Amino acid sequence: MEQYKHFLQEKAALTPEEIESLTSSLQSKTFRKGEFLLHAGEVCAYAFFVEKGLLRSFTIDETGKEHIIQFGPENWFVTDRSSAYFSEPSDFSIEAIEDTTVVLIDAAFISRASAAYPHFMRFNEKALQNHIRQLQKRINLLLSATAEKRYLDFIRLYPDLTLRVPQWMIASYLGITPESLSRVRKELAKNNFKPH
């Protein structure tokens, strides 16, 4: 849980004592590659903070095609906020792409931490607003941006994932076919673009 403690110290401006007091009730859990943390149709009970590894959140349409909503590398949170907040069945599944260790964060923890530490409440509010901002940007990109622009934004958002994630998953996240992604990458390579 060291990553999460460091994250709280850096982002939420909590002292080491406050962090120890807060995190003593939290649990971490390891999932093997291919294991599911959440299946569509279940109620999402936790936000998953990724200590080590990589998650993906995705949905499957009526034709059986997967659509990746989010990747979760180290120091990212992955959850279905609406399922967790409204206690409704999730539309999404969350799966480990690599062996992954997560910290399980439930709503009771957030409430407790927010009540005890106003700066945690401000941090949580900012994280929520940032999440909404990223979702709005993602919707806008999917509706109006070229495949190349979407891919460049993916690299900006997930700079180390091009080598960790299969190409078909990146294409799914971008809302394009693997063939289109291949064309985009060839075009960028021709112009001497390097993702790292």
Mean pLDDT on 93-119: 93
Mean pLDDT on 16-21: 90
Supply the pLDDT for residue 13: 84
Mean pLDDT on 130-153: 93
Q: Are 61 and 96 in contact (CB under 8 A)?
A: no
Supply the pLDDT for residue 12: 86
Cα–Cα dist 40/47, whole Å: 15
Mean pLDDT on 55-64: 95
Residue 139 DSSP code: H
The pair of structure tokens assigned to 158 is: 């997930």
- State the chain's mean pLDDT as an integer: 93
pLDDT tier at 196, thresholds 50, 70, 90: low
Mean pLDDT on 133-158: 94
Q: Residue 62 burial by CB count (10 A; 0-12/13-18/19+): exposed, middle or buried?
A: exposed
Is a pLDDT exceeding 90 seen at residue 14? no
Mean pLDDT on 134-159: 94
Mean pLDDT on 44-70: 96
Phi first, then psi: give them for residue 175, nearest 5 degrees: 75, 30
**Structural domains present in the chain:** 2-116 (2.60.120.10)
Residue 44 DSSP code: P
Q: Write down the number of H helices and E strands in the chain.
A: 8, 8
Q: What percent of the chain lies above the pLDDT cut of 70?
A: 98
pLDDT tier at 175, thresholds 50, 70, 90: very high
Mean pLDDT on 11-36: 92
Supply the pLDDT for residue 1: 87
